[in-house]
């Protein structure tokens, strides 16, 4: 049984689809339950099992209720993917307090509230896989002080819960995507007024692989950490960036 936050679109949707294709029952979690339905229906149409759940992961009670609903529906939580995230990009001197707080709330507090809620089920069964979505932005990215801080914070959070929960058979790892072609990155291109194909070509030129990432690339890494066979891998950060930081 897997829970994927921020799963109505983009990386979360692809992760949910691929987990279901691998045999997991999946809870597709997002702010608006109606927006989860296309992903849920796609999984069911392919022969999988899925439910949609609405929750604001930054809210403790909503996270607890969401996990309780998953346990009631499927009996347990085996895999938690903390993917929910937002961007509020700006240079530091232009960044408003709310821009900082909102990003930290969704990424960091959201991972905290969901993990705290889900770990109870995992501890009881002495098994669990927690995968947090970090980013290459954790290494620093102009105009993203809030996002970079949140994503590096997730790496520290991951390593700490790996230490705390490891004795109970629970692993915790990070997947850190580079530039991935998603609705979010396309919206950024539109906001800055750069034609999409030009922006994709620009980023591809920076990569040793000479292409930008696709949601499937990230989902594949998540599935690796989520596997039962990955039980001796914990506290790790896997950068999936096409080798961007080699050059």
Kindly state whether residue 30 falls inside one of the protein's structural domains.
Answer: yes
Burial classification of residue 186, based on how many CB atoms lie within 10 Å of its CB (0-12 exposed, 13-18 middle, 19 or more buried): middle
Kindly state whether residue 245 falls inside one of the protein's structural domains.
Answer: no
- Which domain range does residue 228 map to? 2-178+214-240
d(CA 155, CA 135): 9
Q: Are 6 and 80 in a shared domain? A: yes
**Structure confidence by residue, pLDDT tens digits, 203-229:** 888 889 899 999 999 999 999 999 999
Number of domains in the chain: 2
Please, which pLDDT band fits residue 247 given cuts at 50, 70 and 90?
low
Q: Are 13 and 126 in a shared domain? A: yes
Please, which pLDDT band fits residue 246 given cuts at 50, 70 and 90?
confident
Kindly state whether residue 10 falls inside one of the protein's structural domains.
Answer: yes
**Structure confidence by residue, pLDDT tens digits, 3-26:** 999 999 999 999 999 999 999 999
Q: Are 89 and 196 in a shared domain? A: no
Q: Are 147 and 70 in a shared domain? A: yes
Q: Are 90 and 193 in a shared domain? A: no
Query: In this structure, what are the phi and psi dihedrals at residue 211, rounded to the nearest 5 degrees?
Result: -155, 160
Kindly state whether residue 188 falls inside one of the protein's structural domains.
Answer: yes
With a CB cutoff of 8 Å and minimum separation 6, the contacts of 167 are none
Query: Is residue 51 within 8 Å of 40, Cβ to Cβ?
Result: yes
Count helices and strands in the chain by DSSP H and E runs = 9, 7
Please, which pLDDT band fits residue 198 given cuts at 50, 70 and 90?
confident
d(CA 235, CA 115): 15
Kindly state whether residue 111 falls inside one of the protein's structural domains.
Answer: yes
Kindly state whether residue 70 falls inside one of the protein's structural domains.
Answer: yes
Q: Are 85 and 167 in a shared domain? A: yes
**Structure confidence by residue, pLDDT tens digits, 85-105:** 999 999 999 999 999 999 999
Query: Is residue 142 within 8 Å of 84, Cβ to Cβ?
Result: no
Q: Are 199 and 131 in a shared domain? A: no
Q: Are 189 and 140 in a shared domain? A: no
pLDDT averaged over every residue in the chain: 95
Inter-CA distances, 138 with 5, 62, 93, Å = 20, 27, 19
Sheet strand arrangement including 170-177:
50-54, 26-30, 2-5, 79-82, 128-133, 170-177, 237-240
Q: Are 82 and 200 in a shared domain? A: no
Q: Are 167 and 206 in a shared domain? A: no
Percent of the chain with pLDDT over 70: 98
Kindly state whether residue 247 falls inside one of the protein's structural domains.
Answer: no
Q: Kindly report the CATH number assigned to the domain that includes residue 102.
A: 3.40.50.720
pTM of the model: 0.95
Q: Are 132 and 206 in a shared domain? A: no
Catalytic residue among 127, 147, 203, 239: 147
Residue 190 reports pLDDT greater than 90: no
Burial classification of residue 215, based on how many CB atoms lie within 10 Å of its CB (0-12 exposed, 13-18 middle, 19 or more buried): buried
147 is catalytic: yes
| pLDDT confidence of residue 118 | 98
User: Collapsing DSSP states into helix, strand and coil, what is residue 156?
Assistant: helix
Q: Are 233 and 190 in a shared domain? A: no
User: Collapsing DSSP states into helix, strand and coil, what is residue 87?
Assistant: coil
């Amino acid at each position: 049984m897997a829970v994927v936050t921020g799963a109505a679109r983009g990386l979360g949707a692809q992760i949910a689809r691929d987990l279901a294709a691998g045999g997991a029952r999946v809870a597709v979690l997002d702010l608006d339950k109606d927006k989860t339905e296309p992903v849920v229906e796609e999984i069911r149409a392919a022969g999988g099992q899925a439910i949609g759940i609405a929750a604001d992961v930054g809210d403790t009670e909503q996270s607890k209720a969401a996990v309780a609903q998953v346990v009631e529906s499927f009996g347990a939580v085996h895999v938690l993917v903390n993917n929910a995230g937002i961007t509020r990009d700006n240079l530091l001197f232009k960044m408003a307090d709310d821009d900082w707080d909102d990003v930290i709330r969704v990424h960091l507090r959201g991972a905290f509230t969901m993990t705290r809620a889900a770990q109870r089920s995992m501890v009881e069964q002495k098994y669990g896989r927690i995968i947090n979505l970090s980013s290459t932005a954790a290494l620093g990215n102009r105009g993203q002080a809030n996002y970079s801080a949140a994503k590096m914070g997730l790496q520290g959070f991951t390593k700490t819960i790996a230490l705390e929960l490891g004795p109970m058979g629970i692993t915790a790892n990070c997947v850190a995507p580079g530039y991935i072609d998603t609705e979010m990155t396309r919206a950024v291109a539109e906001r800055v007024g750069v034609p999409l194909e030009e922006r994709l070509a620009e980023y591809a030129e920076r990569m040793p692989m000479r292409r930008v990432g696709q949601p499937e690339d990230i989902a594949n890494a998540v599935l690796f950490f989520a596997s039962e066979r990955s039980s001796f891998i914990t506290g790790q950060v896997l950068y999936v960036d096409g080798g961007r930081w080699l050059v």
